[in-house]
Amino acid sequence: MSGTSDLQYDVACRPDFSLLTVQLLKGQSLKVEASAMATMDVNLKMKTKTKGGLARFLTGESIFINEFTAEGGPGEITIAPGPPGDLEHVHLDGDTIYLQNSAFVAAGLDVTVESKWQGMMKGFFSGEKLFLIRCSGQGDLWFNTYGAIIPIEVTGDYVVDTGHIVAFTEGLDYNVTRVGGYKSLFLSGEGLVCRFSGSGKVWIQTRQVAPFGLWVWPFRRQKKGD
């Protein structure tokens, strides 16, 4: 992975409500997660393709990815991810990166985006989805978070709460385990963690959706008698 990019881009409104703008030269194409396009020039033409098939369907995500191509001249597209939070860019150079099931935003045409089975133990007991999104190949990749994003270089062992993981590089092994004993699992509020080992990078998000839902629950509007 490198800090270069094949496509000219800009990220505005970060870290709370990141908005991605990508400039496409004539003939260039971009893969974009379904429903993420906010605006585009009339030179851009869109095709909808199926990616991941049944695996993506089982993640609860759309099984479709939209492909935008600049025809007849250059064009600009703005992309608005679903969650309120930051957005990260990496340039793949024959590398592989794994994303949580809802993190994919956009990628160059030569980046392969596919679902990867985590295994029943890792997926089911992590409290997350049974599938990760595997991105590999050559080109630009963007992914989003809920909250701000923090990259962490890992050498050896490192522990991350499963709900805070956004992405990690190939070469890191991981196992889902308890923080403490069974009492801690159900009463501490910490749940399960992912123990990484090896050498690579992990991206974490500073917020989780489930704890936010619990925080706002007491403030919900109620009918009399509820």
pLDDT single digits (tens) 154-201: 999 999 988 899 999 999 998 888 665 444 444 444 567 889 999 999
Reading the block at residue 10, the tokens are 């800009």
Please provide the size of the chain in residues.
Answer: 226
Whose CA is closest to 40, among 8, 66, 9, 76?
76
| Per-residue pLDDT tens over the stretch 61-107 | 556 899 999 998 999 999 999 889 999 999 999 999 999 888 999 99
| Domain CATH for 150 | 3.60.160.10
Residue 187 domain-assigned?
yes
Dist CA 161 CA 176 (whole Å): 9
Give the total number of structural domains in the chain. Answer: 1
- Position 94 scores a pLDDT of 95
- Position 223 scores a pLDDT of 73
Evaluate the CA torsion angle 12, 17, 20, 21 in order and state its sign.
negative
Residue 179 domain-assigned?
yes
Query: Do the beta carbons of residue 18 and residue 11 sit within 8 Å?
Result: yes
- Position 185 scores a pLDDT of 47
Residue 222 domain-assigned?
no
DSSP string, 130-147: SEEEEEEEEEEEEEE-SB
Residue 173 domain-assigned?
yes
Residue 131 domain-assigned?
yes
- Position 216 scores a pLDDT of 66
- Position 190 scores a pLDDT of 53
Residue 223 domain-assigned?
no
Say whether pTM exceeds 0.85: no
Range of the domain at 20: 8-213
- Position 62 scores a pLDDT of 53
Dist CA 86 CA 38 (whole Å): 16
- Position 85 scores a pLDDT of 93
Query: Do the beta carbons of residue 34 and residue 64 sit within 8 Å?
Result: yes
Residue 221 domain-assigned?
no
Residue 3 domain-assigned?
no
| Per-residue pLDDT tens over the stretch 27-37 | 999 999 999 99
